Amino acid sequence: MYNFDFARPDTLQDAQAALRADDAQALGGGQTLIPTLKQRLAAPAILVSLTAIPELKGICLADDGRLCIGGATTHATVAREAAAHYPALAQLAGNIGDPAVRNRGTIGGSLANNDPSACYPAAVLASGATVITDRQEVAADDYFQGMFATALGEGEIITEVRFPVPQAANYQKFVQPASRFALVGVFVARFAHGVRVAVTGASEGGVFRWHKAEAALGDDFRAEALGDLAVEADGMIGDLHGTPEYRAHLVRVLTGRAVTAAA
């Protein structure tokens, strides 16, 4: 690991000022960034921790019914405090990594990194959530822009994520046992206006919506409604853990399981 300076501001304004320094890097829970530094794949001059800023933490239900989660809120807190309002999201958070990861990792850090096998992107996309930053508000459909790519600009900070709460939802994850990431994960959310299905861990392009499944489930919210629908293996990730065809098969299976569990 290279030498670097460390800042831990306690206000958003101070964090913004610190991130304007040359080669500064925001630090959430550090569950991805710290291993990256150890492997010398990144070498920022200064790390700016966001974990001491009270306004970036916490969970509340807004007047419009959306669940609002601060960007520096840990997975463990989401698992505990979102359960009464959005059980599927709480269940997802409670199964990320191990207890050490859940007590350090943050929802904002996960979304800023946008790992193609992370769990939160599926929940955000399937829920039609809005990512709030210190500069803009971005709809989920516009936020994710490919593997490790997002709509965030340089030094931009995720301050909050606002989740519409669906009538029914469930997340099914086929766990890669060594990393606890999703080999494939599928989040299904049913709203009064339709169904959204988001898939993580499967595609070379990162998290995506399965629109054909959404259309079928919008007419009949049962696993049987998927019929012989399947995603194409072309463009799916292939590695030592599974072929593209295997991941495409898992998408179909896990979507059916999520629908059954949600219904």
What are the residue ranges of CATH 3.30.465.10 in the chain? 56-163
Taking residue 203's Cβ as centre, other Cβ atoms within 10 Å add up to 21
CATH number belonging to domain 168-262: 3.30.390.50
On the question of pLDDT at 199 being above 70, the answer is yes
Query: What pLDDT is recorded for position 15?
Result: 97
The residues facing 182 across adjacent strands are: 175
What topology does CATH give the domain 5-49? Answer: 3.30.43
pLDDT band at 177 (very low <50, low <70, confident <90, very high): confident
Mean predicted lDDT score pLDDT of the chain: 95
* Percent of the residues in the chain that have a pLDDT greater than 90, as a whole number: 88
CATH of region 56-163, choose from 3.30.465.10, 3.40.640.10, 3.40.50.460, 3.90.850.10: 3.30.465.10
Tens digit of each residue's pLDDT (9 = 90 or more) over 241-263: 999 999 999 999 999 999 999 99
Distances (CA, A) of 11 to 50, 51, 52: 9, 10, 8
- Could you give the CA distance from residue 256 to residue 224 in angstroms, rounded to a whole number? 8
On the question of pLDDT at 42 being above 90, the answer is no
3-state secondary structure of 11: coil
Burial class (CB in 10 A: 0-12, 13-18, 19+), 253: middle
CA 147, 150, 153, 158 dihedral sign is: negative
Taking residue 232's Cβ as centre, other Cβ atoms within 10 Å add up to 9
Distances (CA, A) of 21 to 157, 203, 228, 245: 15, 35, 54, 46
On the question of pLDDT at 45 being above 80, the answer is yes
Q: Please give the helix or strand (H or E) that residue 112 lies within, else none.
A: helix 107-113
Structure tokens at 99: 């207890």
pLDDT band at 140 (very low <50, low <70, confident <90, very high): very high
Question: pTM of this prediction?
Answer: 0.95
Pairing of strands 168-175, 130-133: unpaired
What are the residue ranges of CATH 3.30.390.50 in the chain? 168-262
Query: What pLDDT is recorded for position 1?
Result: 65
The residues facing 6 across adjacent strands are: 47
Q: How far is CA 51 from the centre of its chain?
A: 18
- Could you give the CA distance from residue 135 to residue 138 in angstroms, rounded to a whole number? 10
- Could you give the CA distance from residue 98 to residue 27 in angstroms, rounded to a whole number? 20
What are the residue ranges of CATH 3.30.43.10 in the chain? 5-49
